């Protein structure tokens, strides 16, 4: 089945496919709340990140790859490794900007949405992943990205740049506040496969990022933690490794498991292949489950 028909054929959304398998499990105290059954029954989904050393990524042809032993996923479903061609970015084009759901492209291809605080490095990550120097306009001015921007990759999936949250000059309180459109996008966009929650690895954990992770988990939106700027070490502040550990430890106070964690640097292209490989695996999983009906 071609990617264009995957949603129509499966009859359920990418979100539904992935939600049941990769959502976090809350700690018992969170289970006291009136939660949806799909949340309570959710299973941890073990997906192995494809690394730069993985044969799948070294393979130059687009042929099927024989999976090495350590990459076999362990979980409720066997997940085929993606073809090498799935991890390559051949074309990347800006599609458009939307301020309401009806302005977004038809929900016919899987979407991977990037969120994070203003200035976390969203545009830089998009440019790094796609290998296009200025696909997303990078800016040092916080809060510039106020629309939902779609980029189509290889004509088969979307990278989506969402408005940054928690901009101090705009928000009067430190509470996480989505604009209504972003919230609607998270809750209603059928083709949303995975949210990539970007967290600045060069600074200690910020309450608003933890709050965002909580909100996504409680709203049953599958997400992956993508730490940015891991090349950057600020004087007198803990190292990125220490910041990341502290962030994960804080999440583990609320959850039994961590979501997938990927560490990146847009400057050094660290994590590029890992993230593209992971996205390819998710797309493969959705297509595979769609085939099974």
The answer to whether the CB of 69 falls within 8 A of the CB of 46 is no
Alpha-carbon dihedral angle through residues 151, 129, 127, 208, given to the nearest 10 degrees: 90
The residues binding ligand GTP (CB under 6 A) are 116, 118-124, 138-145, 164, 228-229, 231-232, 265-267
Cβ proximity to ligand GTP: between 29 and 235 the closer is 235
Minimum separation from the CB atom of position 102 to ligand GTP (A) = 24
Q: How far apart are CA 233 and CA 241, in angstroms?
A: 10
In three-state secondary structure terms, 199 is strand
Minimum CB distance to ligand GTP smaller for 86 or for 117? 117
Nearest to 87 by CA among 283, 280, 287, 282: 280
Q: How far is the CB of 211 from ligand GTP (least distance, A)?
A: 17
DSSP 51: P
To ligand GTP, the closest distance from the beta carbon of 153 in angstroms equals 18
Nearest distance in Å: CB 82, ligand GTP: 25
Say if strands 111-116 and 157-161 run parallel, antiparallel, or are unpaired.
Answer: parallel
Long-range (24+ apart) CB contacts under 8 A made by 242-246 are 243/201, 243/202, 243/203, 243/204, 243/205, 244/201, 246/204, 246/205
| CB closer to ligand GTP, 270 vs 281 | 270
Least distance between ligand GTP and beta carbon 4 (Å): 29
**Which CB, 259 or 271, lies closer to ligand GTP?**
271
Tokens 């993985």 found at: 54
Shortest reach from residue 270's CB to ligand GTP, in Å? 8
Instruction: Please identify, using beta-carbon distances, which residue of 146 and 156 lies nearer to ligand GTP.
Output: 146
The DSSP code for 237 is: S
Q: Kindly tell me which of 273 and 286 has the beta carbon lying closer to ligand GTP.
A: 273
Angle at 38 between CA 192 and CA 116, to 5 degrees: 40
């Amino acid at each position: 089945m071609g990617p264009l028909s995957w949603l129509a054929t499966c009859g359920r959304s990418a979100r539904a496919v992935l939600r049941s398998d990769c959502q976090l499990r809350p700690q018992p105290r969170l289970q006291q709340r009136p939660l949806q059954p799909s949340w309570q029954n959710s299973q941890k989904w073990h997906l192995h990140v494809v690394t730069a050393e993985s044969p799948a990524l070294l393979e130059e042809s687009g042929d099927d790859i024989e999976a090495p032993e350590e990459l076999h996923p362990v979980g409720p479903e066997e997940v085929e490794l993606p073809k090498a061609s799935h991890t390559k970015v051949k074309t990347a084009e800006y599609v458009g900007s939307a301020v309401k759901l009806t302005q977004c492209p038809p929900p016919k291809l899987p979407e991977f949405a990037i969120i994070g605080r203003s200035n976390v490095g969203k545009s830089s990550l998009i440019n790094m992943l796609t290998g296009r120097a200025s696909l997303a306009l990078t800016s040092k001015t916080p809060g510039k990205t106020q629309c939902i921007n779609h980029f189509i990759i290889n004509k088969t999936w979307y990278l989506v740049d969402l408005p940054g949250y928690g901009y101090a000059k705009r928000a009067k309180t430190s509470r996480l506040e989505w604009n209504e459109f972003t919230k609607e996008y998270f809750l209603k966009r059928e083709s949303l496969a995975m949210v990539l929650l970007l967290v600045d690895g060069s600074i200690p954990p910020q309450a608003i990022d933890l709050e965002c992770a909580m909100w996504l988990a409680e709203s049953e939106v599958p997400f992956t933690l993508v730490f940015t700027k891991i090349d950057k070490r600020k004087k007198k502040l803990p190292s990125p490794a220490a910041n990341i550990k502290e962030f994960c430890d804080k999440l583990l106070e609320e959850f039994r498991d961590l979501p997938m964690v990927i560490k990146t640097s847009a400057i050094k292209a660290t994590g590029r292949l890992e993230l593209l490989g992971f996205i390819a695996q998710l797309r493969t999983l959705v297509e595979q489950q769609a085939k099974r009906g």
